[in-house]
Amino acid sequence: MKKPILFILLIAAIFTSCSSDDDSSISENTKSNLIGKWQWTASTINGEDISLDKCDIMNTLDFKANDVITSTTFSTITVVNNGQTTTTCEQESLESGEWSLSENNIITKFGNESSSVKILELTSTSVKFEETEEYKDQAGNTVKDTYTDTYKKI
């Protein structure tokens, strides 16, 4: 009699311990899912990882409900004084602009510059964007670079 009870308890334990972690996934790219402050955590260009330094990962995007976006960027400042090198992070810019969502694309406008990025992934804790840039190289050839940037919600 103990064997069926143990078997039932084992099956129950398996089903409850294997619950999905998908509750952090968001099935819709809606404005309300993007609202909040996001910190840059990873980046690639054409699939190759780009190394971010301690100042890069301080960069943030803040999507507000009133269609305002704030971008804060930091840069590395290196000072050599009496043979001692000191590296610090300083805020490089703080810009406010407008943002909107059209299907899977976020359109931003900072001053006279507009851009669009595609949302590749969106969860309650992270978002991944993709942007393709097309330009002419020195030889006049058309070059396409694809950037992906990952942010975590803070």
pLDDT digits (tens, 9 = 90+) for 61-79: 999 999 999 999 999 999 9
Average pLDDT over residues 126-150: 95
72-85 burial code (b ≥16 CB/10 A, e <16): bbbeeeeeeeeeee
Closest by CA position to 117, among listed 147, 154, 151: 147
Averaged confidence pLDDT in the chain: 85
> Using CA atoms, how far apart are residues 152 and 126, in angstroms rounded to an integer?
4
Domains belonging to the chain, first-starting first, are 27-153 (2.40.128.280)
Determine the pLDDT at residue 21.
Answer: 46
Share of the chain above pLDDT 90, in %: 77
Element (H, E) at 152: strand 142-153
